[in-house]
Amino acid sequence: MSANLSAIFYLISGVLFILALRGLSSPETSRQGNLFGILGMVIAITVTFLSVGNFSSGFVYVLIFLTIGGLIGAFIAYKIPMTAMPELVAGFHSLVGLAAVFVAISAFLNPEAFNLGSSGNIKLGSLIEMSIGAAVGAVTFSGSIIAFLKLQGIMSGAPITFKGQHPLNALILISIIVLTYLLCSTQSAHFFWIMLAVSFLIGFLLIVPIGGADMPVVISMLNSYSGWAAAGIGFTLENSALIITGALVGSSGAILSYIMCKGMNRSFFNVIMGGFGAAEQSGLSSGSKEQRPVKTGNAEDAAFLMKNASSVIIVPGYGMAVAQAQHALREMVDTLKKNDIKVSYAIHPVAGRMPGHMNVLLAEANVPYDEVFELEEINNDFANADVAFVIGANDVTNPSAKTDPESPIYGMPILDVEKCKSVLFVKRSLSPGYAGIDNNLFYKENTLMLFADAKKMTEEITKNL
């Protein structure tokens, strides 16, 4: 296949990838969009086979490795519970990163195969592109591994900070640039390997200080990095499908990071510098020392309140995911609806551990997506609703984000749960949320605390309805 013809096919697959993302603008078109994506991938892979045109025994091995990977991927895709999506996505990002590193390594070792010159005499431009792809890929890989371990709970979600962290990181970043320069001027493989090793290291160091509640930003950011790594490799391979995709994914991840940061009213820089929760707790203990009375209730009380309501708004949070309470919740809502009670769901942009996390869980529990609303769409409805049922969320309802300029979450957009006639909080204990901040809402006259496992409590309420 001629180079021009294959370039046109790569362009087509790039366009199909754009359509795949475009489809996600509404759930109706999204499934078709996904098929466009698959078609684009099939075209890209087929064209690559045809353009290399080397159907020797190497071809068999390519198919073998492709099949092995494909089977593992398909197995994971069918087995993974929806609550584990953040971990899965973090894990997948690490694989994209590592694949980018591996492709860069093989291009560096065998530049002839890629038309990049000869070993020890690689074209300067290609060498720079390759280094960028490899370095960003390495950062994506090690960063995603840390994010995965934190999400999986293997590593503590608490931010790990140490003295001199920021100067060290800055030093490492500068050394990557210096090493790339040395690599380009000497073509020595030593510099390539050192540069890679240092890039892996900086990936670890960048994510380690970021706390669990900031994971939505981290995942989006790593998503973005994996795109830039792919684009870097795309430039090396002079492949437009890869360049287009890399740019799409890179900007997609960047936009998601921006949306997540805005959902927390924090600057991107602030999140990256890390160390949220840890620093705040000390300053807060003074203000919240006195034991304030809270009203606690049981499933019967909650059922009574909701039975007499005409509209209920559900506010799910990460706690719902942990307790796997989404199905029990949907059953409760079904019962409420049978009693002619209007029910809707309110989702805060940073609810859960990744963008859109709650929406997927509710969809899994067969909640129709047109009953689920974003913050701006539903926030005015709280004032007219009778009951807000907060299940596993906390900080996103905290009124101090509006009233207390001292609060670390001051300025963060919150769901106006306090405006409801009554508020039900399903929580394990009075402990503060991830940000380590006490929630005044717990002590309000019209708040009833339901201390229990989210799933058990919801099931019991359903029984009492």
Partner 1 sequence: MEIDPFIFRLSIFILSIFIGYYVVWSVTPSLHTPLMSVTNAISSVIIVGAIIAGLAGNSENIFNTSSIFGFLAISLAAINIFGGFLVTQRMLQMYKKKNK
> What part of residues 123-162 is at the interface with partner 1 (CB under 8 A)?
125
C-alpha closest to that of 314 among 349, 362, 258? 362
Q: Restricting to residues 96-125, which ones interact with partner 1 according to CB under 8 A?
A: 96, 98-100, 102-103, 105-107, 109-110, 112-114, 125
- Min. distance of Cβ 93 from partner 1 in angstroms? 7
End-to-end CA distance of the chain: 68
Tell me which of 143, 159, 203, 227 binds partner 1, using CB under 8 A: 227
- Min. distance of Cβ 180 from partner 1 in angstroms? 17
Helix (H, G, I), strand (E, B) or coil at 71: helix
Q: Restricting to residues 253-292, which ones interact with partner 1 according to CB under 8 A?
A: 253, 255-256, 259
Site track 56-95 with partner 1 (rule: CB under 8 A), x = hit: xxxx-xx--xxxxxxxxxx-xxx-x-x--x--xx--xx-x
**395 carries an active-site annotation:** yes
Helix (H, G, I), strand (E, B) or coil at 106: helix
C-alpha closest to that of 418 among 385, 457, 373, 451? 385
Q: Restricting to residues 12-31, which ones interact with partner 1 according to CB under 8 A?
A: 13-14, 17-18, 20-22, 24-27, 30-31
- Note whether 52 binds partner 1 by CB under 8 A: yes
- Note whether 203 binds partner 1 by CB under 8 A: no
Cβ(155)–Cβ(146) below 8 Å? yes
- Min. distance of Cβ 167 from partner 1 in angstroms? 32
Q: Of 79 and 289, which CB lies nearer to partner 1 in the complex structure?
A: 79
CA separation, residue 73 to residues 95, 141, 402 (Å): 11, 17, 45
Q: Of 22 and 190, which CB lies nearer to partner 1 in the complex structure?
A: 22
DSSP state of 296: B
Q: Total number of residues binding partner 1 (CB under 8 A)?
A: 117
CA separation, residue 206 to residues 59, 166, 277, 380 (Å): 39, 9, 17, 39
- Min. distance of Cβ 413 from partner 1 in angstroms? 13
Q: Which of 395, 404, 416, 453 is catalytic?
A: 395
Distance CA 363, CA 256 (A): 20
- Note whether 34 binds partner 1 by CB under 8 A: yes
Tell me which of 209, 212, 317, 355 binds partner 1, using CB under 8 A: 355
Ordered DSSP codes for 299-339: HHHHHHHHHT-SEEEEEE-HHHHHHT-HHHHHHHHHHHHHT
Could you list the beta-strand ranges (E) of 392-439: 422-427
Q: Of 230 and 450, which CB lies nearer to partner 1 in the complex structure?
A: 230
Query: What is the dihedral sign for C-alpha 224, 229, 231, 232?
Result: positive
Q: Restricting to residues 234-253, which ones interact with partner 1 according to CB under 8 A?
A: 234-253
Distance CA 191, CA 254 (A): 30
Q: Restricting to residues 311-350, which ones interact with partner 1 according to CB under 8 A?
A: 347, 349
- Min. distance of Cβ 326 from partner 1 in angstroms? 11
DSSP state of 452: S
Cβ(83)–Cβ(93) below 8 Å? no
Q: Of 136 and 306, which CB lies nearer to partner 1 in the complex structure?
A: 136
- Min. distance of Cβ 53 from partner 1 in angstroms? 9
- Note whether 197 binds partner 1 by CB under 8 A: no
Which residues form the catalytic set? 395
